[in-house]
């Protein structure tokens, strides 16, 4: 099997990670495409016998980091307060509880610092080992464990805060 054929096996995972990382379907698909394009142009650099998935996630991490650097150099940051959301946004039928939980989780993930979000997603969503994550992100394993611990704790705090803030008052 050619390495290019093996890329296809990893596209769904790359797409899932990119969408969780960016939270924009079109930009996430662009990130996956840029990752695969870079990987295809550098197949000679892949060392046979090593983990192709980790190599692809390393490329994606580097492409994403480059895009963030470029965007931050030309973008203007506009802060939006949580209080700006109307209460009516939370008024939904009870049958949509699961959808709301997923939305809250996605919202909380997006509020994590990028370095923590990357580790939480790679370990939790992609089920990568600490060593593979460390390799993909080019950081020591201890840094992975630290970021994961801080990321999980921050995620818990955000989810707890959102749940209490999402309750509506019943007016009779």
Q: The CATH number of the domain where 13 resides is what?
A: 1.10.1740.10
Predicted confidence (pLDDT) per residue in 131-155, tens digit: 999 999 999 999 999 999 999 999 9
Shared domain for 105 and 32, answered yes or no, is: no
Final residue of a structural domain among 54, 78, 102? 78
pLDDT at 152 (0 to 100): 94
Predicted confidence (pLDDT) per residue in 65-122, tens digit: 888 888 777 655 555 555 555 555 555 555 566 777 788 888 888 899 999 999 999 9
Final residue of a structural domain among 36, 51, 78? 78
Shared domain for 66 and 136, answered yes or no, is: no
CA distance 21 to 115: 10
Cβ neighbours for 52, distance < 8 A, ≥ 6 positions apart: 3, 6, 7, 10, 46
Shared domain for 72 and 122, answered yes or no, is: no
pTM across the whole model: 0.58
How many domains are contained in the chain? 2
Segments forming the whole domain that contains residue 104: 88-165
pLDDT at 165 (0 to 100): 41
Final residue of a structural domain among 48, 78, 108? 78
Q: Mean pLDDT across the chain, nearest whole number?
A: 81
CA distance 106 to 127: 18
Whether 33 shows a pLDDT value over 50: the answer reads: yes
pLDDT at 22 (0 to 100): 87
Residue 53 placed within a domain: yes
């Amino acid at each position: 099997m050619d390495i290019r054929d093996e890329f296809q096996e990893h596209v769904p995972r790359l797409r899932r990670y990119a969408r969780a990382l960016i939270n924009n379907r079109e930009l996430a698909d662009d990130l996956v495409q840029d990752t695969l394009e870079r990987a295809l142009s550098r197949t000679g650099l892949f060392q046979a016998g090593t983990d192709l998935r980790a190599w692809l996630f390393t490329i994606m991490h580097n492409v994403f980091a480059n895009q963030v650097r470029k965007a931050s150099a030309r973008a203007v940051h506009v802060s939006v307060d949580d209080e700006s959301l109307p209460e009516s946004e939370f008024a939904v039928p009870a049958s949509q509880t699961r959808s709301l939980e997923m939305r809250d989780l996605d919202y909380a993930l997006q509020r994590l610092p990028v370095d923590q979000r990357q580790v939480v997603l790679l370990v939790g969503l992609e089920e990568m080992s600490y060593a593979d994550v460390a390799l993909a992100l080019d950081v020591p394993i201890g840094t992975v464990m630290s970021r994961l611990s801080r990321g999980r704790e921050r995620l818990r705090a955000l989810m707890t805060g959102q749940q209490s803030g999402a309750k509506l008052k019943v007016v009779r």
